[in-house]
Chains A and B, each alone.
Chain A
């Protein structure tokens, strides 16, 4: 849960937990699985402020820990009218767990945004339904069919990349109707990194995946917002968003960003547990970073990923090196950038020394060494040839430590606040859980 109009922590925790366990069940399933988040708002006057949210999936393998956690979270949730029934639906069978609580009554509206990583075998949908006689309508936001097919049927190395791309574009683009912005997807620069630690004795494999998406300067893109000087790092564990761990945050702020041309001004963890990095003299429109830590097998003992800062550091460095390997010119280290600034002057001096020499034989020799023809001895040509070669030397030296990276997973973002009517009638994110 990335953001909401107000911080209703107990409700968010409960919803996050519902989604978390649904995702884990789907991961355990060996067949394609569907996760549905359903939001229902009755139209009747008597319960006009009642909102029902349910999370259902077609996974398998419910566990006792799941219900114990839900029980604790339910007790933390302020309720006024609730009959104590929490309904969790799985394929072909209902499981009912009665919790003796008073009824729950929602006073205000709900505006929740859920960011879910798509795990293998998992298809997600958001279902919004208004129940009642007047103005009854259903809103379903299914995934694109090709995408659904692709993500459900096969593991793809581009899932996390694709998701973060969508996230970057949706947050950077301030124009809802400009179709050409869709094409800007290709203008984003991607760095991916991964690290894992498979412990055979315990049969426990911890994986860390990092994706960095860089958008070029705002002036390059027609509808782009102004340059964004900070980055909110998206942190996931086991395919579900959660607050970033202190150790992972420490890795972020202690990384040698200057080796890749970034200048980190500072960082902090905000009220919702998100890491925010602030940049100095940014040369890009925006930087988006996603970190995903997960265990190889879902529902294992020691549930929740083990925090291993070494793996996070390794994956982050791998992602940065990947960026540099593919775009050396754009991600020169700060040192490399400073050296590069001397290249035009150096080239001018060398070209001048060659062409102002009164030794014609020496001139011809140098021009031949540069790979230029005997008729290409203008100072401009000689200078640009030297410039180009020098820049190449600097870039080559700057990328000597490339690290291979592994396949990341994709990432998805969906919004609930697109329904304007919902916003008009409700002001906060109180919610009711239906039975």
Chain B
């Protein structure tokens, strides 16, 4: 039920007391499930049966073998594609995974009981010899989310947010007022706790997501938002979970179109894909984190000629770039859902060149803000 409710999107805004009570109920429910799992494990051990935990395996994309005619695959944004059984009796790596999962669960139980929060790095340093590296903790947190059908924020494990937002919006995050609208050119940090957001007011016409902070600052410096009624967000490269959640929240609450501006290279395309289709690591939550309707505003390979950029702005694709591009081209969601995006990436690969958003400054320092973005949006030149 909890998962089904989440999939419908964020619930209507509610009062502080109701919000607090709901959070307490969610924590209580999780603690109940944790005790149920531990009881199951103890019963097994006591009766001579190996503790076994069945985990669903999620996958939101795979590499389609045949580009011409993609075969049907099991990938899904909300349904599991298989199961792993963690126990003492089979694979060593599953025993290791079980070991790590239970240790992280011990920490999570304490966090929920004491209503405290911590980062995954905090957890890592509590038992570094068991975890070996932070990525191992990350994997265990994913396993716990899958096991209990919840998301990371429900476990009181919070990330460090690096995303920024500015523009025609104002909201409150708990007791904190985030009034971007009073200075639409000022950068604010993306809120950590989406559940704490309330009183959202916006008069923006669209949301613009940009890959890099340098571009974000360029727009701020040009006072882009004063002349364009919009909200600008940057994830500073690959977006973290709160940035993705915040973007999805805005799209759902404000019903605004979202555009994405990334470099014309495989790396930029992959960032766009993360916003639009979700990441493999968080495949179990893909349907809650992705923004399927986000539009790719640019930069396209064809923009180079369309906007008469000088040759010195072009860079050749490196061997790594080519490998990355070929890997992305094989992803099943491009075949199934976005062939036009795939064609654009293929064109990049065929021409063998790439260039950055900043290259648009070759015409003039404010070309991006004054001409490129407004014209692209106005003319509907996006994919």
Which residues from chain A sit less than 8 Å from chain B, CB to CB?
335, 338-339, 342, 345-346, 349-350, 352-354, 356-359, 362, 365-366, 369-371, 386, 389-390, 392-394, 396-397
Within 8 A of A (CB), among B63-120: 88-89, 92, 95-96, 98-99, 102-103, 105-106, 109-110, 113
11 interchain pairs, CB-CB under 8 A = A352-B106, A357-B109, A362-B35, A362-B38, A365-B39, A369-B42, A370-B42, A370-B45, A370-B46, A386-B45, A397-B89
A-side contacts of B106, CB under 8 Å = 349, 352-353, 356
B42–A366 touching, CB < 8 Å: yes
3 nearest CB pairs, A to B = A349-B102, A352-B106, A369-B46
Over the window 295-327 of chain B, the binary record of Cβ atoms lying under 8 Å from chain A Cβ atoms (1 yes, 0 no) is 000000000000000000000000000000000
Which residue in chain A gives the minimum CB-CB distance to B102? A349
Identify which of B31, B34, B45 gathers the most chain A CB atoms within 10 Å of its CB. Answer: B45
**Contacting B50 at CB < 8 Å: which of A345, A369, A397?**
A397
A-side contacts of B92, CB under 8 Å = 335, 338-339
Complex Cα spacing A396 to B49, Å: 10
B99–A345 touching, CB < 8 Å: yes
B-side contacts of A386, CB under 8 Å = 42, 45
A350–B35 touching, CB < 8 Å: no
A339–B95 touching, CB < 8 Å: yes
A393–B46 touching, CB < 8 Å: no
B133 at the interface (CB under 8 A from A): no
A-side contacts of B55, CB under 8 Å = none
B-side contacts of A353, CB under 8 Å = 34, 38, 102, 105-106, 109
Contact A371 B38, CB 8 Å, known A339-B95, A353-B106, A356-B106: no
Within 8 A of A (CB), among B39-61: 39, 41-43, 45-46, 48-50
**Contacting B38 at CB < 8 Å: which of A358, A366, A396?**
A366
How many of chain B's residues have a CB under 8 angstroms from any CB in A?
A: 28
B377 at the interface (CB under 8 A from A): no
State the Cβ distance, B84 to closest chain A Cβ, in Å.
Answer: 16
Number of A-B contacts (CB under 8 A): 84
A342–B45 touching, CB < 8 Å: no
**Contacting A394 at CB < 8 Å: which of B31, B34, B42, B88?**
B88
Complex Cα spacing A386 to B42, Å: 8
Complex Cα spacing A390 to B41, Å: 11
B280 at the interface (CB under 8 A from A): no
A-side contacts of B34, CB under 8 Å = 353
B20 at the interface (CB under 8 A from A): no
**Contacting A389 at CB < 8 Å: which of B38, B48, B110?**
B48
State the Cβ distance, A401 to closest chain B Cβ, in Å.
Answer: 14
B103–A349 touching, CB < 8 Å: yes
A356–B109 touching, CB < 8 Å: yes
Complex Cα spacing A345 to B140, Å: 15
B130 at the interface (CB under 8 A from A): yes
Which residue in chain A gives the minimum CB-CB distance to B96? A342
Identify which of B34, B38, B98 gathers the most chain A CB atoms within 10 Å of its CB. Answer: B38
Identify which of A338, A365, A370, A389 gathers the most chain B CB atoms within 10 Å of its CB. Answer: A389
**Given contacts A393-B89, A397-B88, could you give 13 more A-B pairs where the C-beta distance is less than 8 Å?**
A342-B96, A342-B99, A345-B103, A346-B98, A350-B38, A353-B102, A357-B31, A357-B38, A357-B109, A358-B113, A369-B43, A389-B46, A397-B89
A-side contacts of B41, CB under 8 Å = 350
Complex Cα spacing A371 to B43, Å: 11
A354–B102 touching, CB < 8 Å: no
Complex Cα spacing A342 to B39, Å: 20
Identify which of A346, A353, A397 gathers the most chain B CB atoms within 10 Å of its CB. Answer: A353
Complex Cα spacing A392 to B45, Å: 9
Complex Cα spacing A368 to B327, Å: 54
State the Cβ distance, A337 to closest chain B Cβ, in Å.
Answer: 10
B-side contacts of A365, CB under 8 Å = 39
State the Cβ distance, B29 to closest chain A Cβ, in Å.
Answer: 13
Over the window 205-223 of chain B, the binary record of Cβ atoms lying under 8 Å from chain A Cβ atoms (1 yes, 0 no) is 0000000000000000000
